[in-house]
């Protein structure tokens, strides 16, 4: 009887483990996507408006993927850092406008 009980528990444990593994993979993929977007946007911003203030770099590192995509899309037409980061979120970059390179 003990053997049967253990066999009945196995599919449940396997299901829970698979579910946890999928969650972990999705979390890791989102984290990797966010880091990649942040790194790419930072590189593009530095090429165009270098040097970037530390507060702005921190803001890039803390942003989620959706926010990074919005900023990246604006970068194509922005003439200043303020235009890229004008989100109405009350956090403009803490630096004067940098010349374009």
CA distance 21 to 27: 10
The answer to whether the CB of 51 falls within 8 A of the CB of 67 is: no
CA distance 93 to 63: 14
- Among the residue ranges 2-6, 37-41, 52-56, 95-99, the one predicted with the least confidence is 95-99
Average pLDDT over residues 60-72: 95
State residue 64's pLDDT score.
94
pLDDT: is 21 or 100 the higher one? 21
- Whole-model pTM? 0.68
CA distance 82 to 91: 10
CA distance 26 to 12: 21
Asked whether residue 28 carries a pLDDT value surpassing 90, the answer given is yes
């Amino acid at each position: 009887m003990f053997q049967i009980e253990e066999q009945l528990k196995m599919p449940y444990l396997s299901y829970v483990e698979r579910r946890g593994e999928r969650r972990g993979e999705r979390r890791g993929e989102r984290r990797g996507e966010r880091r990649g977007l942040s790194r790419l946007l930072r590189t593009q911003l530095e090429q165009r408006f270098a040097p970037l203030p530390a507060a702005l770099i921190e803001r890039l590192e803390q942003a989620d993927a959706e926010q990074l995509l919005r900023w990246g899309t604006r970068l194509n037409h922005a003439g200043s850092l303020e235009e890229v980061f004008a989100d109405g979120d009350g956090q403009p970059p803490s630096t004067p406008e940098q010349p374009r390179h």
